[in-house]
Chains A and B, each alone.
Chain A
């Protein structure tokens, strides 16, 4: 179990995550959804230990989560300028013994000998994904992994996520497009106003659309029809 208790994060006295108490089952794929500004990326950053929380405990089993427990695919992927894709991947020591670049490269088709700064957004996402897949970590954090990917690669990423789960990894995935989450997640957690307000099991995924957008759809229809 990954247990989070009393987690609070604020920026300049502006609370973003408000006393989160939640348990995530290990070995499952957890979707994290919420509207813009709900705190999804902050939550991922806290789990990855990129941001220190104001208070709270993060445990994996009985131990505190450490830097070496998580592999993190960020929303926006930053690469040091002037290095090639191959060099970027070489930076990371391969701790995942099963990782075979040549096999994945057949699907990703990245120009690994070219400078990363000349890659498209989707290519950068794929390269960053390869970087984290080289590492054998118990928890994978993927913030918007489907952003900028073509349809075929979207499917490949879905397959990668489910394969990681088969290897007993715990995966946290967020997405602004909800359909890919329906395809891969075991549970989807709704983050609202800085706290997890609800979670949905696979059988209840149909309710999420209503839960998230019911009010918005009603209000927006009224307002937009008056504005156009």
Chain B
């Protein structure tokens, strides 16, 4: 049997790696780190932490993917093609179960992934929360669009984080997951008309953008972090660092977008790098990375935007 879909994904992955250049070296350690975390969760009898998010991720892919009609019309054994794709994507993480007492979750995950291609639900883009611009200004369109697209998951994660906010680490993990989702709001470049709307020079434009967007993270996360700190005072230092690190990640995502900005361009390649950095910062030694990158990319973004914003 041939697997053209896997071949296409491999070629796309190669292209993404070429796009991110030197930062490709960060992707492998991030992947290995996540594999190690997976192994730890299986070994510590917390397989749900891995199996549920992975299955959920693949289910979301299955529902949201735009190429379903193409795959079912043009590829042989379309269900197998999709199954192998989901397996290739998740196997490095759930295969660790085989070496632990939670080995049963390995075949269970395989069965779950096998069933997913038979899920024929379609995600239709509907305008939910039509009055969102009364809460979030229209100028922060990335947040309006991003929140609208992911409202179900954002609400679920936030409610879960709030419900477990007296637990150790778990709410931080959920909020961190929320941050990685927020980082994906910045994978699309706006038109030149929108970019130029503020009429500000590049440096001021970036500073206003960073301030305007970072305040949402602070407002959104602070109440939960405060409650979590009160319940777990021994985690004070970690909790104190948590929001600044998430803010630094967000700054980096914004600056990365504008360092590569071209009108109307999709910057999907950024998501690999952003996710890798987001994973890396869960290791204490790598905490300063987004801060350093944010500084470096501020100047890159400013230089790139000078072309579009200065006369």
Q: Which residues of B contact A49 (CB under 8 A)?
A: 311
B268: min CB distance to chain A, Å: 13
Q: Is B264 an interface residue (CB 8 A)?
A: yes
Is the beta-carbon distance between B139 and A91 smaller than 8 angstroms?
yes
Q: Is B223 an interface residue (CB 8 A)?
A: no
Q: Is A159 an interface residue (CB 8 A)?
A: no
Within 8 A of B (CB), among A86-129: 86-88, 90-93, 113-115, 117-118
Is the beta-carbon distance between A66 and B311 smaller than 8 angstroms?
yes
Q: Which residues of B contact A79 (CB under 8 A)?
A: 191
User: Residue among A48, A80, A91, A92 with the most chain B CB within 10 A?
Assistant: A91
Q: Is A177 an interface residue (CB 8 A)?
A: no
B304: min CB distance to chain A, Å: 13
Choice from B145, B188, B192 contacting A50 with Cβ under 8 Å: B192
Measured between alpha carbons, how far is A131 from B138 in the docked complex, in Å? 13
A82 to B, closest residue via Cβ: B145
B273: min CB distance to chain A, Å: 21
Instruction: Encode B141-161 as 1/0 by CB contact (under 8 A) with A.
Output: 110111011000000000000
B310 to A, closest residue via Cβ: A67
A111 to B, closest residue via Cβ: B127
Q: Which residues of B contact A131 (CB under 8 A)?
A: 193
The majority secondary structure among interface residues of chain B is helix
Q: Which residues of A contact B144 (CB under 8 A)?
A: 82-83, 87
Measured between alpha carbons, how far is A72 from B195 in the docked complex, in Å? 13
Given A91-B139, A91-B194, does the pair A84, B311 have CB atoms closer than 8 Å? no
Q: Which residues of B contact A117 (CB under 8 A)?
A: 125
Choice from B126, B193, B263, B308 contacting A115 with Cβ under 8 Å: B126
A49 to B, closest residue via Cβ: B311
Is the beta-carbon distance between A91 and B141 smaller than 8 angstroms?
yes
Choice from B137, B148, B307 contacting A82 with Cβ under 8 Å: B148
Within 8 A of A (CB), among B291-311: 307-309, 311
A170: min CB distance to chain B, Å: 18
Q: Is A220 an interface residue (CB 8 A)?
A: no
B290: min CB distance to chain A, Å: 25
Measured between alpha carbons, how far is A84 from B193 in the docked complex, in Å? 17
Given A90-B133, A118-B125, does the pair A80, B141 have CB atoms closer than 8 Å? yes
Choice from A52, A83, A84 contacting B307 with Cβ under 8 Å: A52
Instruction: Encode A32-69 as 1/0 by CB contact (under 8 A) with B.
Output: 00000000000000001110100000000000101110
Is the beta-carbon distance between B133 and A86 smaller than 8 angstroms?
yes
Q: Is A132 an interface residue (CB 8 A)?
A: yes
Q: Which residues of B contact A90 (CB under 8 A)?
A: 133, 137-138
Is the beta-carbon distance between B133 and A82 smaller than 8 angstroms?
no
Choice from B137, B264, B311 contacting A78 with Cβ under 8 Å: B264
Is the beta-carbon distance between A67 and B130 smaller than 8 angstroms?
no
Q: Is B212 an interface residue (CB 8 A)?
A: no
Is the beta-carbon distance between B138 and A80 smaller than 8 angstroms?
no
Q: Which residues of A contact B146 (CB under 8 A)?
A: 82
Given A87-B141, A91-B138, A93-B197, does the pair A78, B125 have CB atoms closer than 8 Å? no
Q: Is A81 an interface residue (CB 8 A)?
A: yes
Measured between alpha carbons, how far is A81 from B190 in the docked complex, in Å? 9
Is the beta-carbon distance between A78 and B263 smaller than 8 angstroms?
yes
B257: min CB distance to chain A, Å: 12
Q: Is B199 an interface residue (CB 8 A)?
A: yes
Q: Which residues of A contact B209 (CB under 8 A)?
A: none
Q: Is B79 an interface residue (CB 8 A)?
A: no
Measured between alpha carbons, how far is A155 from B199 in the docked complex, in Å? 33
B281: min CB distance to chain A, Å: 27
Q: Which residues of A contact B148 (CB under 8 A)?
A: 82-83
Given A84-B127, A86-B133, A90-B138, does the pair A72, B193 have CB atoms closer than 8 Å? yes
Q: Which residues of A contact B308 (CB under 8 A)?
A: 50
Choice from A50, A67, A74, A93 contacting B311 with Cβ under 8 Å: A67
B198 to A, closest residue via Cβ: A93
Q: Which residues of A contact B142 (CB under 8 A)?
A: 80
Measured between alpha carbons, how far is A190 from B141 in the docked complex, in Å? 40
Q: Which residues of A contact B188 (CB under 8 A)?
A: 80-81
Instruction: Encode A173-196 as 1/0 by CB contact (under 8 A) with B.
Output: 000000000000000000000000
A190: min CB distance to chain B, Å: 27
Is the beta-carbon distance between B125 and A87 smaller than 8 angstroms?
no
Q: Which residues of A contact B133 (CB under 8 A)?
A: 86-87, 90
Q: List 19 A-B contacts (CB under 8 A).
A: A66-B311, A67-B199, A80-B145, A81-B125, A81-B149, A82-B125, A82-B144, A82-B148, A83-B138, A83-B141, A86-B130, A86-B133, A87-B132, A88-B138, A90-B137, A91-B139, A113-B130, A115-B126, A117-B125
Given contacts A72-B192, A80-B194, A83-B141, 13 further A-B contacts (CB under 8 A): A48-B192, A68-B199, A79-B191, A80-B188, A82-B145, A82-B149, A87-B133, A87-B138, A87-B141, A87-B144, A90-B138, A93-B197, A131-B193
A-B interface, 5 closest residue pairs, ranked by CB to CB distance from nearest: A82-B145, A90-B138, A78-B264, A66-B311, A91-B138
